[in-house]
Amino acid sequence: MKKYNIAVVGASGMVGGELLGLLESRRFPVGEFYAFNSGRKPARVIFRGKKYACSAPSFEALRKADIAFFVSNEEVSEKFAPRLAAAGVWCVDDSSQFRLAAGVPLVIPEVNGAELKPARRLIAGPNCTLTGAAVALAGIHRKFRVTELRIATYQAVSGAGKAAMRCLEEELRGYFKTGRVPVLKDRKFPHPIAFNLFPQVGGFDAAGNTGEENKVEAELKKIWGDSRVKISCTSVRVPVLRGHSLALWFKTARPCSPAALRAELRRTDGLAFFEKPEDYPTPLKHGDRTDVVYAGRLRRAKTAANEYQLWVVSDNLYKGAALNSVQIAERIVKL
Ligand SMILES: NC(=O)c1ccc[n+]([C@@H]2O[C@H](COP(=O)([O-])OP(=O)(O)OC[C@H]3O[C@@H](n4cnc5c(N)ncnc54)[C@H](OP(=O)(O)O)[C@@H]3O)[C@@H](O)[C@H]2O)c1
């Protein structure tokens, strides 16, 4: 079997750690392996039982790879990915840098895997929040056309990386020591997150929407290849460690029924659908190292005859990032 030299830029991060584990557990045919971090502090990762020292990336070092996974930040992706892709290296980018760029496919394999083409070597993976909605409603959108979609998100702390996880841990430790949640000096969020939540993920635009809310709208439209669908979102950060949850309200153009929607959800690729109302998914059980998106509590909304509600949970670090990237790689080696 042909083997592929793999580079992971951001190997010491939250998504990077999961990516390494998935390449190993899914037996991706890895030849040489190269691990990169910021180079600011020494870090080692373990891959297939062997320790690798991480170093700062350079174009020459990355060029040795057949596939480079970018799981660091926008600046790093911008600096290396387009040039590497032009040189023939497959670049799978989890940052938001190129998601909306023309000519860069934004891919969830089970939703729009046909976008992957041999000539398009730079591929973006979507924001971890919208992945659940994009997968759960993909079949319903194809069959009944979603015209309007309202989303309230409940986003885990790990979605903001390892520094955010450290903040939550420190706040909790402080609370159990003193009885008060400390306000940390170098906190990652606008407010303490322990025993709290806030409707702000990212900065605000002039209209009062956050960066995350705008990403959800724009990226979902691109993935579904449909700019007509009206999307409005409120993104909320909650003190959950892992697993993003979504409350969805959607209207359809074509007439449907709860039974027809249930049938569609049952056959949607990459989705596990719970039929009984009391069997709904939760992040602790269904958002932690899970390969599929989970949905439940489908019901007719009380606000309009053609409006329905659905509850969705997915693992932001797996399907929202590392697993989706590995699944992209599994497809591109077959192109
Ligand atoms: N967390 C999620 O749920 C999620 C979901 C979808 C997409 N993403 C995206 O995935 C990327 C990684 O997120 P994360 O949550 O894993 O962040 P993280 O835990 O903060 O990890 C960031 C990683 O990037 C490395 N890095 C930072 N600056 C670098 C530089 N100049 N050159 C090379 N490497 C550098 C860090 O290395 P050091 O350890 O040396 O700092 C670390 O390995 C981000 O673009 C994020 O938007 C994250």
Q: Which domains does the chain have, with CATH numbers?
A: 4-126+321-332 (3.40.50.720), 131-316 (3.30.360.10)
Per-residue pLDDT at 90: 98
Q: How many whole angstroms from 70 Cα to the centroid of ligand 1?
A: 8
Residue owning tokens 């409940």: 154
Angle at 155 between CA 149 and CA 161, to 5 degrees: 130
How far is residue 258 from each of residues 38, 148, 248, 264, 283, measured CA to CA in Å?
A: 50, 17, 15, 10, 25
Per-residue pLDDT at 282: 98
Q: How many whole angstroms from 137 Cα to the centroid of ligand 1?
A: 29
The span from the CA of 219 to the CA of 222, in Å, is 5
Q: What sections of 204-278 are H helices per DSSP?
A: 211-224, 258-266
Q: How many whole angstroms from 155 Cα to the centroid of ligand 1?
A: 17
What is the residue type of 217? E
Per-residue pLDDT at 151: 98
Per-residue pLDDT at 207: 98
Q: What is the phi/psi pair of residue 232, to 5°?
A: -135, 140
The alpha carbons of the chain give a radius of gyration, in whole angstroms, of 20
Which residue's CA lies nearest to atom 25 of ligand 1? Answer: 10
Q: How many whole angstroms from 15 Cα to the centroid of ligand 1?
A: 7
Which residue's CA lies nearest to atom 45 of ligand 1? Answer: 95
Mean pLDDT by 10 residues, the chain (335 residues): 97 98 98 98 96 98 98 98 98 98 98 98 98 98 98 98 97 98 94 98 98 98 98 98 98 96 98 97 98 98 96 98 98 97
Model pTM score: 0.98
Residues facing 295 on adjacent strands: 273, 312
Angle at 250 between CA 247 and CA 253, to 5 degrees: 170
Per-residue pLDDT at 55: 98
Mutate to test the pocket of ligand 1, among 71, 98, 317 (most ligand atoms within 8 A of CB): 71
Give me the helix-helix angle, 14-25 and 323-332, nearest 10°. 50
- With beta carbons less than 8 A apart as the criterion, state whether 279 and 295 touch: no
Per-residue pLDDT at 137: 99
Catalytically active residues, by annotation: 128, 244
Cα 257 from chain centre: 30
Which residue's CA lies nearest to atom 11 of ligand 1? Answer: 71
Q: What is the phi/psi pair of residue 111, to 5°?
A: -100, -50
Which residue's CA lies nearest to atom 28 of ligand 1? Answer: 38
Mutate to test the pocket of ligand 1, among 14, 129, 290, 314 (most ligand atoms within 8 A of CB): 14
Residue owning tokens 């350079």: 58
Ligand 1 pocket residues where CB is under 6 Å: 9-16, 36-38, 40-41, 43, 56-57, 71-73, 76, 94-95, 128, 158-159, 161-163, 316-317, 320-321
